[in-house]
Amino acid sequence: MRLENKIAVVTGSATGIGAATVHLFAKEGAMVVCADVDIDEVQNTANEIKENGGKAEAYELDVSDADQVEAFAQYVKDTYGTVDVLFNNAGVDQEGGKVHEYPIDLFDKILSVDLRGTFLVSKFLLPLMMDHGGSIINTTSMSGRAADLDRSGYNAAKGGVINFTKALAIDYGRYGIRANSIAPGTIETPLVDKLAGSKQEDSGQDFREAQKWVTPLGRLGAPEEMATVALFLASDESSFVTGEDILADGGLQAYTWPGKMLIDKSWKKDVE
C-alpha cells in the first residue's frame, strides 16, 4: 500500500503502459483518475480496477486541448481537492519520412500531444500539488535520447519532454514536488502493433525478432515493467530522486553501435 490514500492522475491510461500503471497504482492504494482520449477503452480500464477492488474513475481528455485540460483540472480540484501523483503518459508516434519531406501537420500533431500535452497537464494540475508536494512522472523514450530513421517529430518531442522534466524539477523542488521521467525501450503495447505490425503479421514478427537480438536482455519489455518504475517514482521510496530520466530499454543504449552484433551469428543465436 505504498500509495494509500493518494490521488493519482494518469493520462494515456486506456491501454499499454498507462493501463498497467493505473492497475498497479490502484493495487497500491491510490484513487486513480484514468484520463484518455479514448473514453470507451479508458472506461473499461477503470471498470476492471473497480471490479478488482480498487478505486478508479475514467475521464475523456485530449491533452493537447488547453480548454479541455483546464476544465479537467477544475474537475479534479472540485472532486478531490488535491493531486499527489501525476503521470503524464499520453503520447502518439508515427513515421513521417526524412525531414525535408516530413509533413508539417504530423510534426505539429506529435509535438502537440507528446510535448505540449505534458506541459498543459502539468501547468493546470501543479497548483493542486504546491501546498503539500507530490510526484510528477513523464513518459519520454529512448528515442528522446537518440534518433530514429524517419521519426524526427517523435525524437524532437520526447527530447523536449526530457528537458522539460528537468525544468519542473528545479522550478518546484522547493514546493516538495519531484519531477522525473521514464524512457522506455521497445515495449509490447498497441502502439508498437500500430507502428510495426502485430505479432500475427509478418512485419511485426520481423520487427520483434530484430529487436530481440539487438537488445542485450534478449526480449521486448512489458508494460508492467514500466509500471513498477513509475510506482518507484510515485512513492516515497524515491524521495530524494528528482530531475532524472530513467532509461528502461533492456540495455539497448548500453552499446555505442551494433557492429559486431550484426556479424556475430553466435550473439543472435543466443536469444533464439
Please give the positions annotated as active site.
154
3-state secondary structure the chain: CCCCCCEEEEECCCCHHHHHHHHHHHHCCCEEEEEECCHHHHHHHHHHHHHCCCEEEEEECCCCCHHHHHHHHHHHHHHHCCCCEEEECCCCCCCCCCHHHCCHHHHHHHHHHHHHHHHHHHHHHHHHCCCCCEEEEEECCHHHCCCCCCCHHHHHHHHHHHHHHHHHHHHHHHHCEEEEEEEECCECCHHHHHHHCCCCCHHHHHHHHHHHHHCCCCCCECHHHHHHHHHHHHCHHHCCCCCCEEEECCCHHHCCCCHHHHHCHHHHHCCC
